[in-house]
Amino acid sequence: MKSAWVEREAKDAVDRYGAAGPELALRVYSTRLLGRDPKLVLHGGGNTSLKASARDLVGETVAVMHVKGSGADMGAIEPEGLPAVRLAPLLALRSRDALSDDDFARVQRAYLIDPAAPAPSVEMLLHAFMPAKFIDHTHATAVLSLIDQPNAQELCTDVFGGRLGFVPYHRPGFGLARLAAQVFDKSPKVEGLILDKHGIFTFGENAREAYERMIECVTLAEARLQKNRKAFKAAALPAKVATARAIAPILRGACTLRDVDGEGAHKRLVLDFRANDAILNYVNGADLARTARAGLLTPDHVIRVKPWPLLLPAPAAGQLDAFKAAACKAVQQYADDYQKYFDANKARASGVAMHDPLPRVALVPGLGLFGMGENAKAAAMAADIAEATAEGIADADAIGRFTSISEADLFDCEYWPLELAKLGARKKLPLEGQVAVITGAGGAIGAAAARAFAQAGADVALLDLDLAAAQKTAAAIGGAARALQCDVTDAAAVAAAYDAVVAAFGGVDILVSNAGAAWQGKIGEVDEATLRKSFELNFFAHQKMAQGAVKIMLAQGTGGCLLFNVSKQAVNPGPDFGPYGLPKAATLFLVRQYALDYGADGIRANAVNADRIRSGLLNEGFIKERAKARGLSEKEYMSGNLLGREVTAHDVAQAFLAQALALKTTADVTTVDGGNIAAALR
Ligand SMILES: [Zn+2]
């Protein structure tokens, strides 16, 4: 591993964070260097500290320790992410024999110089008990491959000599800090510590020294992993393996908790597929059944990936039914095992409720792995951890035998409130775990629907003929929102778009088939080409999108929701709007046909009849022209309805969202037009 320290960048950091002082500025700089490298730190893991002095709230200068806030991302840390804690009271705890969890949680906050600062890391006391000015702590994958071994101490002595102290495994918190202090007191000249089955600490008198020692030790571990490697033993695989695209919806369906509220709501997960040589080297290994159940690389991963992954059989191409049956059985077995694990260990934590029994990582021999989560972000975090785990375990097994902590120790971390605090308070959103595909997402109604569905917790795939417009919507939403160029009238483009959606999220639960355009012409005179063009977009494209969605929904077997933008023209024709209204009327019927044909599969189909919405179809020039033709002001024209209020794209989006959330509503047409008796459905 190469040092990423660049003196000029370090100086820039000192300039940038001038107000914080040069030491804290460099503390921020090297914390970011460590946090940027996934081979050192992943998703809230790892932490750093600096011992310094600070003015407290009454102006007195006191000795403090700046330490990373619990769960903060080291790669993007700012000085505020390293809150200052008074050092003296923490040191007073060094001679204590024990500290309860409740007291530990109080201590975490009690001595903050700024009471509003984030809670410091659960490894705060370990940092405090070590006298070094700068301390870096990572969960470097190479170091973990070395210490997730039965003879970890022997290997560490061999690789690091006496430079690092060796601390036996203990759950993070006071007990671990105390144990580390005892090890340190026996050899106070060490440059850092190895925490067995957990990670590495390095010390320094300045930021660079602690950082360079970390890089040096990780490099030593990497070099050891290249020595005396055992030959890789591969498992037998089918001659031709199915694609990730083919199995993702099946897996997603298998990993669903059905009807969790007795009213038809499912708990679904979003999938993130990964494959590369290192992953395949692991999942194709002959020993996968053992290593997959042997635990995790480092204990804090358990809060994001559960104590072990789901192990699936290699899916043979063309035998998806057999794979589906095997996947469902494997997930059921996983849930049973998880329940047993919880029951066997629940006495270790008082009054905790079991987390859901679904896996967060699935290993698929011959193919790769899937991270799974309540949204695409959580799925990506699980996949990142799974990737590091695949590499770390393969390396550990190549030089010895991967050996992690016990399931009881994992349980202690998985159900430890102080560890779970890293996840932050999570508000459950109504469409959490669901994937929505929205067409015409670059337009006004599509963009409003995309925002509404994303705010309700869905991950959204945004399709538009105009990629830049879809990207603009995606950028405004942020997160995992995915923009895709798609001509919805082209069957191949629709198939490719669904492939991309499945590759990104694992499947589809909601379709908002919104894309449309208006063609005009007196029906007795309009040329057939115009009429056919309108049918292509305003009818056949809806059918193509719905057909593609239904195929995936059936593979998932967890129902779904098809939503169509139909328009008032479907029931109340406007003069010369036949070319637009006719296909929309057919689409209205399409909604009812889907509702009828797929109700038994839990797939609902609903439509919104909107009218007079400012959009690409009804642009400013058109509004002016129409208002003038009727002798009305623009405002009078736009609010020319029973309620006398202009209807917006946001109103239409809210109607779509309401239909998606109304689990017992299908074949419904919701009118969003401010009231128009002539267009009212009967
Ligand atoms: Zn740690």
With beta carbons less than 8 A apart as the criterion, state whether 76 and 70 touch. Answer: no
CA distances from 295 to 197, 334, 410 (A): 10, 14, 8
Q: Determine the pLDDT at residue 284.
A: 96
Give residue-wise pLDDT tens across range 90-139. 999 998 999 988 898 898 899 999 999 999 998 999 999 999 999 999 99
Q: 27: domain CATH number?
A: 3.40.225.10
Task: Answer yes or no: do 166 and 268 share one domain.
Answer: no
Active site residue 580: yes
Q: How far is the CA of 116 from the centre of ligand 1 (A)?
A: 24
Q: How far is the CA of 199 from the centre of ligand 1 (A)?
A: 6
Q: What is the mean pLDDT of residues 667-675?
A: 95
- Which of 225, 255, 290 is the endpoint of a domain? 225
Average pLDDT over the chain, rounded to whole?
A: 94
Q: What is the mean pLDDT of residues 445-463?
A: 98
Query: Tokens 């083919």 map to which residue?
Result: 246
Q: Six-digit token pair at 545?
A: 């999108």
Task: Answer yes or no: do 488 and 561 share one domain.
Answer: yes
Q: 370: domain CATH number?
A: 3.40.225
Q: How far is the CA of 480 from the centre of ligand 1 (A)?
A: 28
Give 228's Cβ-side CA count (13 Å radius): 7
Q: Is residue 135 part of a domain?
A: yes
Q: Within 10 A of 321 (CB to CB), how many other CB atoms are there?
A: 9
Task: Answer yes or no: do 333 and 382 share one domain.
Answer: yes
Residue 110, SS3? helix
The DSSP H or E segment spanning 671 is strand 668-672
Task: Answer yes or no: do 385 and 527 share one domain.
Answer: no
Q: 654: domain CATH number?
A: 3.40.50.720
Give residue-wise pLDDT tens across range 497-512. 999 999 999 999 999 9
Residue 270, domain extent = 244-423
Give residue-wise pLDDT tens across range 14-68. 999 988 899 999 999 999 999 999 999 998 789 999 999 999 889 999 999 999 9
**In the chain, how many domains are there?**
3
Residue 76: partners with Cβ closer than 8 Å, 6 or more residues away: 32, 35
Task: Answer yes or no: do 179 and 114 share one domain.
Answer: yes
Q: Determine the pLDDT at residue 377.
A: 96
- Which of 423, 452, 485 is the endpoint of a domain? 423
Q: How far is the CA of 165 from the centre of ligand 1 (A)?
A: 16
61 CB burial (10 A radius; 0-12, 13-18, 19+): exposed
Q: Is residue 633 part of a domain?
A: no
- pTM to 2 decimals? 0.94
Give residue-wise pLDDT tens across range 631-653. 999 999 999 999 999 999 999 99
Q: Is residue 511 part of a domain?
A: yes
Q: How far is the CA of 631 from the centre of ligand 1 (A)?
A: 72
Task: Answer yes or no: do 498 and 378 share one domain.
Answer: no
pLDDT reading at 417 higher than 80: no
CA distances from 296 to 144, 301, 336, 590 (A): 10, 7, 20, 50
Q: Is residue 635 part of a domain?
A: no
3-state SS, one letter per residue, for 322-387:
HHHHHHHHHHHHHHHHHHHHHHHHHHHCCCCCCCCCCCCEEEECCCEEEEEECCHHHHHHHHHHHH
Task: Answer yes or no: do 387 and 441 share one domain.
Answer: no
Q: How far is the CA of 530 from the centre of ligand 1 (A)?
A: 66
Alpha-carbon gap, residue 143 to 213, rounded angstroms: 13
Q: How far is the CA of 339 from the centre of ligand 1 (A)?
A: 27
Q: What is the mean pLDDT of residues 486-504?
A: 98
Please pick, among 111, 580, 598, 637, the residue that the annotation labels catalytic: 580
Q: Is residue 540 part of a domain?
A: yes
Q: Which amino acid is at 257?
A: L
- Which of 360, 393, 423 is the endpoint of a domain? 423
Q: What is the mean pLDDT of residues 659-679?
A: 95
Q: Is residue 628 part of a domain?
A: no
Give residue-wise pLDDT tens across range 566-597. 988 899 998 999 999 999 999 999 999 999 99
Task: Answer yes or no: do 212 and 335 share one domain.
Answer: no
Task: Answer yes or no: do 315 and 382 share one domain.
Answer: yes
pLDDT reading at 475 higher than 70: yes
b/e code 235-263 from CB counts within 10 Å (16+ = b): eeeeeebbebebbbbbbbbbbbbeeeeee
Give residue-wise pLDDT tens across range 420-448. 776 766 788 999 999 999 999 999 999 99
Task: Answer yes or no: do 57 and 143 share one domain.
Answer: yes
The DSSP H or E segment spanning 543 is helix 541-556
Q: Is residue 631 part of a domain?
A: no
Task: Answer yes or no: do 447 and 417 share one domain.
Answer: no
Q: Is residue 13 part of a domain?
A: yes
Q: Determine the pLDDT at residue 425.
A: 66
Task: Answer yes or no: do 22 and 132 share one domain.
Answer: yes
